[in-house]
Amino acid sequence: MVGYPESLTDPSYQGQILTLTQPMVGNYGVPDRKKLDEFGLPAFFESNRIHVAALLVQDYSHHYSHWNAVCSLGEWLKEEGVPALCDIDTRMLTKKIREKGAMLGRIEVDLSAPAPDFAKIESPNLRHLVGEVSIKEPKVYGKGNGTKIIAVDCGMKYNIIRQLVRRGCELTVVPWDYPFAAEMDKYDGLFLSNGPGNPVMCQTTIKELEKVINCPDDKVKPIYGICLGNQLVGLAAGGQAKKLPFGNRGQNQPVINHQTKECYITPQNHGFHIDCASLKPGWKTLFTNANDGSNEGIAHESRPYFSAQFHPEAASGPSDTEFMFDTFLEACKKPTAKITFPVRKPAPPRPEVKKVLLLGSGGTSIGQAGEFDYSGGQAIKVS
């Protein structure tokens, strides 16, 4: 029910029409775009502008109410010139995507217009979307901090910068085609960001990454990639990038950690994944999606190289896997140590319960969706 300010400004959505399946959208408005955090970044967003090509929602709330809001969602979209439609059966549209896979889309405002010829519509996947969203010149955040990280910006979300700098990093963000391999001696680790489109188009990044991965033993520096960064690591390690039918997106994707055997609930936004069958010797699968079995991350067996297809930095959550930033920075301090992940504390013992009081749903209807009926919860609050 939350997160559209973050999703709309996520560079990974560059060139895409975004459909939200939450029935009611816009009820909490939009935060102040001018407010900056301690790093000089927009405090409530993932980049400095909206990246989606258009937005589709079912029920649009024309009246917003939130202590942090300064305008409506519609006003923000209009300000940035982004078209949007409401009163769309987004769940039916989602079912079509589930059946047919990701499709090209077009918004028509003329109801009498003939059906468009989609064979002549340019696919955003044919554009170099990473080149469109990547930073143009290197920029440093957290200057003077102890751990020096170089980050390749393929469409980096601002919360990644926040996560790393708050943990004591001096983060040097460079363009996607920057010759970073020649400068690794200046840094303690290498980070590869998320981003839009087909990872195969980032050949310059992949070739630079191959140089870093195959360096001599005494030159090894930890490598950590997220989302597109995972795919780039996989390609540099010999894997193949394959397009998923409709991608894995949303805030509740289950992922299995093969090292700890634990399952995490993760937020995701990707249309490609890495086929690990062709990975070079020395590499292994680290994470797997529990729904469709697709790869969610790989790791080197002896060197401190690892990646995640999901988003540990997610704003507005869930944040179950934020510990991966700590794992990466710990590796930067001890590059010869084996990569290990924390194991959760065991669950408390189940209490012995003899009777249960069940409060059923009442007359409240929220967003015309039964799963958002909070009558029982409200009854508990007032009792």
Indicate the burial class of 342 (C-beta count within 10 angstroms; 0-12, 13-18, 19 or more): exposed
Cis omega before residue 375 (within 30°)?
no
d(CA 176, CA 19): 28
**244, 294 contact by CB (below 8 A):** yes
Angle between the N-to-C axes of helices 203-213 and 228-236, in degrees from 0 to 180, rounded to the nearest 10: 60
- Among 47, 5, 8, smallest CA distance to 153 is for 47
Q: What does the alpha-carbon distance between residue 215 and residue 203 come to, in Å, rounded to a whole number?
A: 19
- For residue 161, give Cα distances in angstroms to 108, 176, 202, 325, 378: 38, 16, 21, 11, 38
Give the DSSP letter of residue 199: G
Is 332 a known active-site residue?
no
Active-site residue, from 227, 263, 276, 332: 227
Calpha distance 289→287 (Å, rounded): 7
Following DSSP, what letter does each residue of 221-278 receive, concatenated? --EEEETHHHHHHHHHTT-EEEEEEEEEEEEEEEEEETTT--EEEEEEEEEEEEEGGG
CB-based contact 251:317 (threshold 8 Å): yes
**CA 339 – CA 4 distance, rounded (Å):** 34
Active site residues: 227
